[in-house]
Amino acid sequence: MSGKGSVCVQSIVTTGPDVIASRLEDEVVILDLKSGIYHGLEAVGARIWELMSPTTPVHVIRDSLLDEYEVEPERCEQDVLALLDELNSHGLLEVRHEAAD
């Protein structure tokens, strides 16, 4: 279900049903079909967007970025959660909250 609550590491995220996205070089442009507003993501944000497809736990996105980029684990997690919270606040994500295994 789509929600406006905070995204956490145990959340499962996917792109919203009312958005379309297109890759342009190292960026992604997202169109919110409901509002008609475009959103842009640069390189790392674009990679996070790609990793969400089709449906992905946030911890898997974080771990993938840690494998691909040289970044401190805490910083990576904070930045991933901040971006996903922002995308969620704009209605661009569907978020499910799952209990940790």
Flag whether 1 is in a domain: no
The predicted pLDDT at position 3 comes to 45
pTM of the model: 0.88
Flag whether 35 is in a domain: yes
Place of tokens 């911890």: 59
The whole-angstrom separation of Cα 6 and Cα 81 is: 8
Flag whether 37 is in a domain: yes
Confidence band, pLDDT 50/70/90 cuts, at residue 5? low
Flag whether 66 is in a domain: yes
- Strands 38-41 and 56-57, by their bridges, are unpaired
CATH of residue 20: 3.90.930.60
pLDDT tens digits, 14-72: 999 999 999 999 999 999 999 999 999 999 999 999 999 889 999 999 999 999 999 99
Q: Pick the residue with more confidence: 100 or 88?
A: 88
pLDDT greater than 60 at residue 99: no
Flag whether 4 is in a domain: no
How many domains is the chain partitioned into structurally? 1
Range of the domain at 48: 11-96
Flag whether 2 is in a domain: no
